[in-house]
Structure 1
Amino acid sequence: MNKREGVLYILSGPSGVGKGTVCTQLRKQLLNLKYSVSATTRAPRAGETDGVNYFFKSKDKFEKMIQNNEFLEWANYVGNYYGTPYSYVQEQLKEGHDVILEIEVQGAMQVRERIGKDGVFIFLVPPNVAELKRRILERASETDESMNQRLKVMEKEMKLIQHYDYCVVNDDLLYACQQIEAIITAESCRVERNKIKYEQWL
């Protein structure tokens, strides 16, 4: 068997930094990159589709999935659950597909603890706090209270950047995606990911 296993990429960062927009653009540019759809208990935003953007679950259903250990990671973020179904990720990696997870920082730390160095962790940051606040306000789905709560959470999340492998500033969408593409290319060339090939040569 000449196929190498796929690589798991974890993209996270503060809420409102543009993780979803970056992932959408990456999926247009990298057709072989599989996107793992997360489950959540939050209400769909305008334009979001169940099974495409998220699997929208009731709180009871989500908690049953937690009890059954069906998530690679899960977190309660500002009153809502988010989680990554594990079976899909495992299947895609074994098939040799690279997979990208777009998740909150809490969830990324769970993945780091569970899989260690088997994943590549990318932290997406805004150019500055004022820009992040502007992006959140543009959603028109935040109260003053939830906005302040998100900003407090962001301060704690930024301190966790030391646990990531790479940092990408999302100031210009296309440039941020180019940087992530470069990371993916470099990681695919690592010797330890290509043992099957070089062992054949030897």
Structure 2
Amino acid sequence: MGKIFLLMGKSTSGKDSIYKNLIQDEELGLKKVVPYTTRPMRDGETDGVQYFFKSEEEYIQLGALKKIIEERTYHTKYGEWRYFTADDGQIDLSKGNYLVIGTLESYCSYRDYFGSQNVEPILIEVSTKIRLHRALDREDKQENPKYDEMCRRFLADEEDFSEEKIACAGIVRRFDNNNTIDICIAEIKEFIKENL
């Protein structure tokens, strides 16, 4: 039986860079699961790579078919943006191990859906100061920066990843990405190998 390793952390904690490194590691052999979103595509994104970009109507149809494993909705100035994982055949634990990016809430949903023995949390931590610098740098590079949305997401993360919620989810192990990402990645790889 395979496992799902769920990579999570606040925005700009380095999840995307860490994910890319782990998913490309042939020794780990982790399969990717492409999540879904109703938010607009960002510069440099491709449908079916970072996300499957769906309309609100398509999201409602998947929900009606009971195909949504986990979901979260962000109420933004630009409307409701939904992020979700669909039971669309991408995950088959009899055929391997998977790597997923998510939130603390989505970890709990995956754990409840697939069983706690099949889902391993990987929580990335970065100081608030470093995260804020990274967030501003990333938004500055966008063709149409949305600083207000950046601030909303930044503050929402503080609540979403509160110490109380982390403890309630039963997460004990954390991975520090404040300094050298290579050290963080090496520690995560070791953790994954120990739990395969």
Under TM normalisation by the shorter chain, which class is it? 0.7 to 0.9
User: Per the alignment, in what secondary structure is the counterpart of residue 80 of structure 1?
Assistant: strand
Name the CA shift for 1:68/1:74 in 2 (closer, same or farther; >3 Å). Answer: same
- Per-residue deviation, 1:187: 0.7
For 2:49 and 2:68, the matched residues in 1 are separated by 18
Contact (CA 8 Å) 1:70, 1:87: kept in 2 or not?
Answer: yes
Percent of residue pairs bearing the same amino acid type = 24
Partner of 2:128: 129
User: Per the alignment, in what secondary structure is the counterpart of residue 88 of structure 1?
Assistant: coil
For 1:124 and 1:18, the matched residues in 2 are separated by 8
Matching residue's letter, 1:122: I
User: Per the alignment, in what secondary structure is the counterpart of residue 45 of structure 2?
Assistant: coil
Report Cα offsets for 1:137-168 as digits up to 9, x if no partner.
12225544323322321211222222225311
1:187 pairs with 167, 171, 195, which one? 195
User: Per the alignment, in what secondary structure is the counterpart of residue 91 of structure 2?
Assistant: helix
Contact (CA 8 Å) 2:72, 2:82: kept in 1 or not?
Answer: yes
For 1:85 and 1:39, the matched residues in 2 are separated by 7
For 1:48 and 1:154, the matched residues in 2 are separated by 23
- Per-residue deviation, 1:174: 1.7
Partner of 1:73: 70
- Per-residue deviation, 1:29: 2.0
Matching residue's letter, 2:125: V
Partner of 1:191: none
1:157 pairs with 147, 151, 160, which one? 160
* Structure 1 residues not aligned, in runs of 5+: 189-202
User: Per the alignment, in what secondary structure is the counterpart of residue 69 of structure 1?
Assistant: coil
For 1:120 and 1:153, the matched residues in 2 are separated by 24
Larger-Rg structure = 1
Partner of 1:109: 108
For 1:56 and 1:116, the matched residues in 2 are separated by 28
Name the CA shift for 1:66/1:178 in 2 (closer, same or farther; >3 Å). Answer: same
Poorly superposed stretches of 4+, deviation over 6 Å? none
Pairwise CA RMSD: 1.9
Report Cα offsets for 1:39-97 as digits up to 9, x if no partner.
11112222211111111111111121122121221111343111112243432x111x1
Contact (CA 8 Å) 2:33, 2:91: kept in 1 or not?
Answer: no
Partner of 1:196: none
- Equivalent positions of 1:1-202 (< 5 A) are 5-30=1-26, 32-78=29-75, 79-91=80-92, 93-95=93-95, 97-117=96-116, 118-126=118-126, 128-140=127-139, 141=142, 143-159=146-162, 160-162=165-167, 163=169, 164-171=171-178, 172-188=180-196
Name the CA shift for 1:82/1:43 in 2 (closer, same or farther; >3 Å). Answer: same
Task: Give the number of the structure whose residues are more often helix, by fraction.
Answer: 1
Give the TM-score taking structure 2 as reference length. Answer: 0.83
